A and B are shown apart, each in its own frame.
Chain A
Amino acid sequence: MISPLEARYHRRRVPLMWWTRRRSYTKFILRELSSVFVALFVVELLLLVRAVAHGPSAYQGYLDTMANPALIVLNVVALAFVLLHAVTFANLTPRAMVVRLRGHRVPSRVILAGVYFGWLVVTAFLAWLVVR
């Protein structure tokens, strides 16, 4: 039950474009939006797997479709967003994870270096798989 005093409160509504009011908010919304492009890459990967399973002609068809200039532009944009997603995600790791070694807290920079090193190792492994 709202008291007579509360009934006279002024309640402000968050404007629809609240995320344009501050740079950090805009950056945050772009990071949220980047998830859509991460999903796009996942769908493209699944389609690739399906094409490979359907044999060489399906695979060639997939490659031809992906060579469409419009799709290439879309994928370049998507890559930029996925990189933004990955880099911001990696950079936040030290704040979310407190790692202890022999009773001492591992400094943020070391955790960050570990995350990027891990990323590099996985990337190198995938690159080796693709080009060998």
Chain B
Amino acid sequence: MSDQITLRVARYRPEEEDGEPAFADYDVPLRQDWAVLDGLNYIKDELDGTLAYRWSCRMGICGSCGMMVNGEPKLTCATFLTDLAPGPVRIEPLDNFPVIRDLVVDLTDFMHKLGQVKPWLIRDEEKPVEEREYLQTPAELADFKQFSMCINCMLCYAACPVYGLDSNFVGPAAIALAHRYNLDSRDEGDRERLTILAQPEGVWDCTFVGECSAACPKGVDPAGAIQQAKLAAAQEAVKSLLLPWRSK
């Protein structure tokens, strides 16, 4: 096995005259324990300090280092070079987002949508502190736990062709998080979130391609969450049709 591997990295430097995106090849050591991110760090430290990319924890928790590796959305800290040998390995910024520079994309759109779905506990009435905390059984926790594992790495948005074609779509991670709170026994905010989820750009834009769930590095099933949210939205619509006095 060769002791080097070529990383073909997408570069975009908007300040340059000929600012068109292009690929640059870098040879990095092919080590058993190196992930793609280690290769990028080697480029930054030893070969070309101008390369821009995001990373932080190196252990699949922070969700910063998502990129397209050979056309697939991956966490670069969890994708090993030896699995991609002999190379070259094509590294590009996450699909479906505007590129700020090199491998860095702008996530403002997602941050806006995340706030819209109110991913926090909503109560009709807060219990006074003296009445202690809101208790939950292990079964109630199990109802939503998998959806709470999301690290906002955006791989699901990069995998979703619906979001690529229409960026108004609220998208997999935001809907999965909304669903996580809707399933939480301590939460009473279903109706507030429904105003966002039940819109055409909410759950109904999803055509169940299922690639979001395939891309998720944390085993979350956003595609399942969206279909369950569709069912809940439809049931709510039928209920408000049959029992109009029930709805606010």
Chain A residues near B223 (CB, 8 Å)?
Answer: 95
What are 24 contact pairs spanning A and B, CB under 8 A? A10-B99, A11-B98, A11-B99, A14-B96, A14-B161, A14-B164, A14-B165, A18-B161, A18-B164, A24-B209, A24-B214, A25-B161, A28-B161, A28-B207, A92-B208, A92-B210, A92-B227, A95-B227, A95-B228, A96-B224, A96-B227, A96-B228, A96-B230, A98-B228
Q: How far is the CB of A94 from chain B (nearest CB, A)?
A: 9
Asked if B219 lies at the interface with its beta carbon under 8 angstroms from chain A, I say no
Q: Name the contact of A25 in the complex, choosing from B106, B209, B228 (C-beta under 8 A).
A: B209
Asked if B111 lies at the interface with its beta carbon under 8 angstroms from chain A, I say no
How far, in whole Å, are A23 and B165 apart by their CA atoms in the complex?
Answer: 18
How far, in whole Å, are A92 and B206 apart by their CA atoms in the complex?
Answer: 14
A24 and B164 in contact, given A8-B19, A96-B227, A98-B228 (Cβ under 8 angstroms): no
CB nearest to B231 among chain A residues: A96
CB nearest to B100 among chain A residues: A9
Instruction: Say yes or no: B164 contacts A103, CB within 8 Å.
Output: no
Q: Name the contact of A95 in the complex, choosing from B99, B161, B165, B221 (C-beta under 8 A).
A: B221
Instruction: Say yes or no: B139 contacts A103, CB within 8 Å.
Output: yes
Asked if B12 lies at the interface with its beta carbon under 8 angstroms from chain A, I say yes
Size of the chain A interface, CB-CB below 8 angstroms? 22
CB nearest to A13 among chain B residues: B164
Asked if A44 lies at the interface with its beta carbon under 8 angstroms from chain B, I say no
Chain B residues near A25 (CB, 8 Å)?
Answer: 161, 209, 211
Q: How far is the CB of A85 from chain B (nearest CB, A)?
A: 12
Task: Give me the 7 closest cross-chain CB pairs, A-B, nearest first.
Answer: A96-B227, A8-B14, A9-B98, A95-B224, A10-B99, A14-B164, A28-B209
Asked if B190 lies at the interface with its beta carbon under 8 angstroms from chain A, I say no
Instruction: Say yes or no: B214 contacts A97, CB within 8 Å.
Output: no
Q: How far is the CB of A37 from chain B (nearest CB, A)?
A: 17
Asked if A12 lies at the interface with its beta carbon under 8 angstroms from chain B, I say yes
Asked if A6 lies at the interface with its beta carbon under 8 angstroms from chain B, I say yes
Instruction: Say yes or no: A12 contacts B99, CB within 8 Å.
Output: yes
